[in-house]
Structure 1
Amino acid sequence: MKVSFIWFDLGYTLVYQEREAAYRRFLAEEGIDLGIERIRLAYHLADKLFMREYPGVLGREVQTFYPWYIGWLNHSLGLSFDLDKQCRFLRESQGKPERTWKAFPEAARILRELRNRSFGVGLISNWDSSARAVLESAGLLNLLDPIVVSSEVGVSKPDPEIFRIALERAGVRAEECLYVGDNYYDDVVGSRRAGMASCLINRYGTQGIEEIEGANVIASVGELPGRILPASAGYPSYRAKGRIVQ
């Protein structure tokens, strides 16, 4: 594969929340002890189920789906609680989005490495109005250009239109691009419809995506340079408005 521009999703591709710790604290207050890894896997499987069965929901304002999501998570763990009480506890524990989303340890390093190798690096994300604040707090805002967010452009993945908007802003062709995200139905399907190559992040091997075939799967963005840079050696540098991006 030869690419000159790499696009990224945001949530659970570049940034994450320590949501499992808040959930475990709630359980402790209810007198229940569950291991953190079991809770992490349950969240992962909940994410994948919502991505598959309810496309686009996880990119909306959180209050529109949160009790529904937490209710399913509880059910998957064999638990049941007063959802109003539980969701209030979890939301208050996590605080404002820009404070609770953190960059994965490898994210900034990989973005800088790609830019230093003259790849264009941008963002296409289904996200609410907090997206830029989240990026700034995570230290990633100045490493991505352009930044295309569904709540700002009025269209969401997997609609090819959001990818076309991004391509136009970057001044690149779809066949020059690779899209990297953790949601097969939004990220892989959407980017393919727009003519881009794609790479799917799944941190638990095939768990939660057993129904998917033919996707290029990696565990994290940290694996990208080993797969992408050698194959793109000697490929022309990405140029935006007549200048080479460094």
Structure 2
Amino acid sequence: MYGRVRWVLWDVKDTLLRVRKSVGEQYCQEARRVGLNVPAAEIESAFRCAYRQHSRLYPNYGMVQGLGGQAWWAGVVQNTFSQCGVFPDSEKALQGCVSLGLQLGVVSNFDNRLEGILRGCGMLSYFSFLLTSEMAGVAKPDPAIFQLALQRCGVAATSVAHIGDHYTNDFRTARSLGIHGYLIDRKGDTRPPEVPTQYRLCSLDELPMRLQQDTH
């Protein structure tokens, strides 16, 4: 069914990178700087409500309405994902994939700030291309964003693997197109029974060996 893997596509948020602080913590800290004392829990709750409302009114960063990522986030909150940290297993996994001779790309439901974030984390050079939902005009789980990524790869879906943390957005959609889908679940609490054991990852440390089996 599957061919030899040549490309590896990566989800970013909660796969390679994580937010260091919650939204409430980040903005509670900023509020104190200007003399406001608002509990972090209140800010967190208010942000989640505003985020859901804005997402419903202006999906995928308001591309259809002509907003774009910058204006979209300005309508919700500034720089929510600006403080990102790298999971300890991320860079080693990327290096392992490169050592196997694989080419890497990104498919992410993110806006176009992603390039700067990956550059700041020292990870941008690993990737041949970045494809954000803002750039593509569609967001996962729409298969169209994966189809655009496959065009960038220039190979058949059976020669591509994808790694992500979301069962529907990442694993199921990738697999529906014939891509090797891997589900990363560091907490061990998101394991639908239909995900074969060989495609479940508790850590990205496991990935290069799994991919090596698929490159021969």
TM-score by length of 1: 0.62
Asked if the contact 1:7–1:179 (Cα under 8 Å) also holds between the matched residues in 2, the reply is yes
Q: Number of paired residues?
A: 186
Aligned to 1:177: 160
Aligned to 2:34: none
Q: 1:58 to 1:219 in 2, by over 3 A?
A: farther
Q: Which residue, 175, 196, 213 being the options, matches 2:193?
A: 213
Aligned to 1:5: 7
Q: Which runs of 5+ in 1 are unaligned?
A: 33-45, 66-86, 236-246
1:120 correspondence with 2:103: yes
Offset from partner CA, 1:70-119 (integer Å, 9 cap, x none) = xxxxxxxxxxxxxxxxx97xx6xxx564x411222222222122112111
Q: 1:191 to 1:31 in 2, by over 3 A?
A: closer
- Whole-angstrom CA distance in 1 between matches of 2:12 and 2:60: 10
1:190 correspondence with 2:173: yes
Matches of residues 64-143 of structure 1 in structure 2 within 5 Å? 97=81, 99-143=82-126
| Deviation of 1:204 (Å) | 1.2
Asked if the contact 2:14–2:165 (Cα under 8 Å) also holds between the matched residues in 1, the reply is yes
SS at match of 2:15: coil
Offset from partner CA, 1:22-73 (integer Å, 9 cap, x none) = 64995xx8899xxxxxxxxxxxxx9xxx9xxx99x997569979xxxxxxxx
Q: 1:222 to 1:5 in 2, by over 3 A?
A: same
Matches of residues 19-98 of structure 1 in structure 2 within 5 Å? 19-20=21-22, 23=25, 60=61, 97=81
C-alpha RMSD of matched pairs (Å): 3.6
Q: 1:134 to 1:59 in 2, by over 3 A?
A: farther
Identical-residue share of aligned pairs (%) = 24
| Deviation of 1:199 (Å) | 0.6
Q: Which residue, 17, 27, 32 being the options, matches 2:19?
A: 17
| Deviation of 1:226 (Å) | 2.6
Q: 1:21 to 1:164 in 2, by over 3 A?
A: closer
